[in-house]
Structure 1
Amino acid sequence: MTEDNKEADTVFTWRTIKSLAVTAATLAAIMLPALAVAAGADAPHLDGGELSALWVIPFACMLLSIAIFPLAAPHFWHHHFGKVSAFWALAFLIPFTIQFGFSLALYETLHTLFLEYIPFIILLFALFTVAGGVRLTGTLVGTPMLNTIILIIGTLLASWMGTTGAAMLLIRPLLRANAHRKYRVHTVVFFIFLVANIGGSLTPLGDPPLFLGFLKGVSFFWTTIHMFLPMMFLLCLLLPAYFIMDTILFGKEGKPMPKNAGAEAGEKFGMEGKVNLLLLLGVVGSVLLSGMWRPGVYVDVYHTHVELQNIVRDLLLLTIAGLSLKLTDPESRRKNDFNWFPIVEVGKLFAGIFISMIPAIAILKAGTSGALAGIINLVTRDGEPVNDMYFWLTGSLSAFLDNAPTYLVFFNTAGGDAVYLMDHVETLIAISMGAVFMGAMTYIGNAPNFMVRSIAEDQGVKMPSFFGYMAWSVAFLIPCFILLSIIFI
């Protein structure tokens, strides 16, 4: 690496950190005076039953912006997506503050930031940083067989190191292996299907909804036992479909081989940054710690209880990310095509998504008294659960909302008793399959989806638009899900 490149990377890194720090400081400057005024007030409460469906419009517009702007105005979107995200967040917050008061708006914002968004982005940042420090050396050639093997490995790893961890670990080697290929979009799409979603279905470590179920009392290996066959069923359908498609396209390309492996031509196969594998275990351990250690201590930020175990987890994750940056050779990261743009893009966009999504989640939580009561009523008939509807509704909403709270909504709708639901296997399987598997339906259905897309585009893969990706998921996943619901529910 030249001195100019080193200096450029350092400047970009510090600009990224400075940008995040300035954003945090600005939020603090705005909120701290408000907290001082509101500290003595009673805890506010948002009743989702009071909200009409019109409150979901900013969230819908946020999704449409992600879908339309990258196609209609790519230059504008690339430079101003953060401003668009902030606009739709404010499009919800300002009218909400006017109608329901500053106190409730402040509480809902802080609750979302401290309990949902900040833990979410810190975990992604840690996984992105650590996994980006692992580099496979040597020249991998993206043949249909190699690509399929990488998909299998990623799918199996996802349940034990999380879909985000597995996706961040393997997406760059996969992209480098296929850099000489003309047709690459289908490989990234199936990578999102399998590694970033379906593979995370066997343990609570795999996907956030299952981790929430674990915290509610679902035993650790319940998902391993009961989700194994559904996961293998989807794997046996999707992998052959991918292999056949990639084989056809590989032949259409003339079975190309890399003309020049560049700087890696003389490298032996191996792995750089092995310390990051230990750090990945540290990330998993930190998340498990926060779920199993309950000291009963919390910091109160205007009625938002930020629990000690979660503070410790987030500090550990930031420390682990810092160790990864310190212990990994910057040159290795450069050769791994590592840069900060994907995490910056995800951070800015999901800030707007989490804020504008507040009314949608509140309406769902209101159950039969909310504007979406018709949806909630579909999952029960004559007092008995309609399990196929649990699957399709949990899945459909998980594709567009955060799949973790959606899982909780339907978990509680089904009774909320883990012991009861583990005995009534089909209902809990339906909810679990819907939340995990259908997170693959859209770019925002699960955390790593959008990040994989961003990394792929950064590496020159022209990924489909929001709706273009949905065309892939409808074509390949919906038929699989129909068969899944017939066989397993």
Structure 2
Amino acid sequence: MTDWKRAAIVALGGCAAFAAILASSSPAAAAEVLDGAKLPWLLGLPFVGILMSIALGPLFVKEWWHVHYAKAAAFWAFLALAGLVAVKGFDATAAAFVHNMALEYAPFILMLLALFTAAGGIAITGSLNATPLVNGAILAFGAGIASVIGTTGASMILIRPLIRANASRRFNAHVVVFFIFLVSNIGGALSPLGDPPLFLGFLHGVDFFWTTQKLWPETLFAVAVLLALFLLIDAYYFKREGRSGASGPIIPLRVKGLVNVALIGVVVASIAASGLWRPDVSFDLYGTKIELQNLVREAVMIGVALASLALTNRASRAENGFDWEPIREVAYLFAGIFTCIIPVMAMLKAGKDGPFAFVIGLLEHADGSPNNPVYFWTTGLLSSFLDNAPTYLVFFELAGGEAAKLMGPLADTLAAISLGAVFMGANSYIGNAPNFMVYAIARDAGVKMPGFFRYMLWSGAILLPLFAAITWLFM
């Protein structure tokens, strides 16, 4: 059975299951809001557990982890749900779970699936001599297109050619680390299409071009500093390898699977359209309102993935080294993360009445005005370990939740929240969806990627001083 037929069966089965659940749910089973102020902090431990498993599993039980990571994710998710059932009961837990999976996880993983499948069908063949200037040009190009086709789309298109170009180099992990910094995160700060947090802002009333107009100075500064630093580091390693210039035959670059470029355009258009087209039609799924425009968007994502598999030559995918394991790993692990995060996000939303009251209290000056540097760092540091999209939304609401006001007199506060969510998603492998996917692809390709904590040593040494400079210069 071909890949696209197998995927079609899975997709149709999923749609049938979704329809069955939709039909069996009743508006009477309305979601009971989880009051984070009344949740014990112990319910946050499964979230800590799954993060530590992701960090330590590949380090201490590498062989077991790569076979059984899905079981580990399921274990922590079960503990989180069991704890919520014990405290809030089955109905409230089921409603919260459905809400998170339907409105957060499903759009997240289906967008990744569509972009991963389409980008995986674009095979760039030929040779590039991975000099510092060539690597820097690829990173600059990736950062430039990330706000147009999204950090996930840009990452999936460019990571494999970049890895192949650097395959002969003895030191190449730092190239992928800077790729995650620039292409998978910071480059996506200039439009709602670039990164999921900004897309949520767009859906909540932030003008499409507001991010471009407001965030370009900080983004340009961050990209320029990181590119300059990368060139210095890459030049050092290049010289250390005993290289002085380009080597090897030059084979002209050739791009195969161009139909997938159009399919990525369909993904981008569907995301934009879902924020503009509001038919005011919705369905109730165990107390969660599923809006028609979002349902159509998810159907388009599935359609794009199936179309890519049907229209792309299998030889091109094989030539590209395409494999399903990275998206499979992301799907399982983030299903666990999105489940374990449910009580943590409820506690954050409780604001000053919740367990995180001390942190929330720091968001305001004594006179009640917003403390923008604290918004930047708090949003950012939480986005480093929580999913940055719901984290952005929490602080968007804590800042007032009114788009018109946040684009006007509180524009600097919204900028701080936006920059924190997008920029600091680069601080860890789980801060933003493409990070872990790029890590998995690079690891499977033989790149000796740093583990969870070693990566954070890189990000801490390079990014935290950069973010401190941005705070001082722009806030």
Counterpart mapping for 1:25-104 below 5 A: 40-104=28-92
After the TM superposition, which of the residue ranges 143-152 and 41-50 deviates more from structure 2?
A: 41-50
**Aligned partners of 1:19, 1:87: CA distance in 2, in Å?**
24
| 1:16–1:340 CA contact under 8 A, matched in 2 | no
The answer on 1:167 being equivalent to 2:155 is yes
Counterpart mapping for 1:41-440 below 5 A: 41-255=29-243, 268-381=252-365, 382-423=367-408, 424-440=410-426
Deviation at 1:425, TM superposition (A): 2.8
| 1:198–1:231 CA contact under 8 A, matched in 2 | yes
1:435 counterpart SS class: helix
> Which consecutive residues of structure 2, in runs of 5 or more, have no partner in the other structure?
none
| 2:43–2:83 CA contact under 8 A, matched in 1 | no
1:357 counterpart SS class: helix
TM-score (norm 1): 0.92
**Aligned partners of 1:158, 1:451: CA distance in 2, in Å?**
15
**Aligned partners of 1:97, 1:189: CA distance in 2, in Å?**
40
**Aligned partners of 1:380, 1:218: CA distance in 2, in Å?**
22
The answer on 1:460 being equivalent to 2:446 is yes
| 2:363–2:371 CA contact under 8 A, matched in 1 | yes
**Aligned partners of 2:63, 2:125: CA distance in 1, in Å?**
34
> Which consecutive residues of structure 1, in runs of 5 or more, have no partner in the other structure?
1-6
Letter in 2 for 1:407: Y
1:306 counterpart SS class: strand
Question: How far does the alpha carbon of each residue in 1:404-458 deviate from its partner, in whole angstroms, 9 at most, with x for none?
Answer: 1111111121122222222233212111111110000011111101000011011
**Aligned partners of 1:394, 1:160: CA distance in 2, in Å?**
24
**Aligned partners of 2:36, 2:421: CA distance in 1, in Å?**
22
**Aligned partners of 2:285, 2:303: CA distance in 1, in Å?**
23
**Aligned partners of 1:23, 1:428: CA distance in 2, in Å?**
37
| 2:126–2:252 CA contact under 8 A, matched in 1 | yes
**Aligned partners of 2:97, 2:270: CA distance in 1, in Å?**
26
- Aligned structure 1 segments of 4 or more residues deviating by more than 4 angstroms: 13-29, 256-261
| 2:105–2:335 CA contact under 8 A, matched in 1 | yes
| 2:28–2:287 CA contact under 8 A, matched in 1 | no
| 1:122–1:317 CA contact under 8 A, matched in 2 | yes
**Aligned partners of 1:149, 1:405: CA distance in 2, in Å?**
33
Identity %: 50
**Aligned partners of 1:205, 1:306: CA distance in 2, in Å?**
21
| 2:380–2:425 CA contact under 8 A, matched in 1 | yes
Distance 1:223 1:54, change over 3 A: same
Question: How far does the alpha carbon of each residue in 1:84-118 deviate from its partner, in whole angstroms, 9 at most, with x for none?
Answer: 00000001111211221110111111111111111
Q: 2:460 aligns with which of 471, 474, 481?
A: 474
**Aligned partners of 1:459, 1:260: CA distance in 2, in Å?**
21
Distance 1:178 1:244, change over 3 A: same
| 2:426–2:435 CA contact under 8 A, matched in 1 | yes
| 1:16–1:344 CA contact under 8 A, matched in 2 | no
After the TM superposition, which of the residue ranges 62-71 and 230-239 deviates more from structure 2?
A: 230-239
| 2:39–2:87 CA contact under 8 A, matched in 1 | no
After the TM superposition, which of the residue ranges 250-259 and 413-422 deviates more from structure 2?
A: 250-259
Partner of 1:3: none
Letter in 2 for 1:180: S
2:283 counterpart SS class: strand
**Aligned partners of 2:244, 2:99: CA distance in 1, in Å?**
52
2:78 counterpart SS class: helix
1:136 counterpart SS class: strand
**Aligned partners of 1:216, 1:24: CA distance in 2, in Å?**
27
Deviation at 1:225, TM superposition (A): 1.5
Question: How far does the alpha carbon of each residue in 1:34-69 deviate from its partner, in whole angstroms, 9 at most, with x for none?
Answer: x56x76445422111111221110000000000001
| 1:180–1:257 CA contact under 8 A, matched in 2 | no
Letter in 2 for 1:172: R
RMSD: 2.3
Distance 1:235 1:226, change over 3 A: same
**Aligned partners of 2:429, 2:403: CA distance in 1, in Å?**
30
Question: How far does the alpha carbon of each residue in 1:256-278 deviate from its partner, in whole angstroms, 9 at most, with x for none?
Answer: 899988xxx8x642211111111
Letter in 1 for 2:275: G
Aligned length: 473
Letter in 1 for 2:378: L
Letter in 2 for 1:419: A
After the TM superposition, which of the residue ranges 67-76 and 419-428 deviates more from structure 2?
A: 419-428
2:429 counterpart SS class: coil
| 2:129–2:248 CA contact under 8 A, matched in 1 | no
Deviation at 1:216, TM superposition (A): 2.1
Letter in 2 for 1:170: L
**Aligned partners of 2:271, 2:18: CA distance in 1, in Å?**
26
1:225 counterpart SS class: helix
**Aligned partners of 1:187, 1:278: CA distance in 2, in Å?**
28
**Aligned partners of 1:392, 1:173: CA distance in 2, in Å?**
34
Letter in 1 for 2:418: S
Distance 1:329 1:54, change over 3 A: same
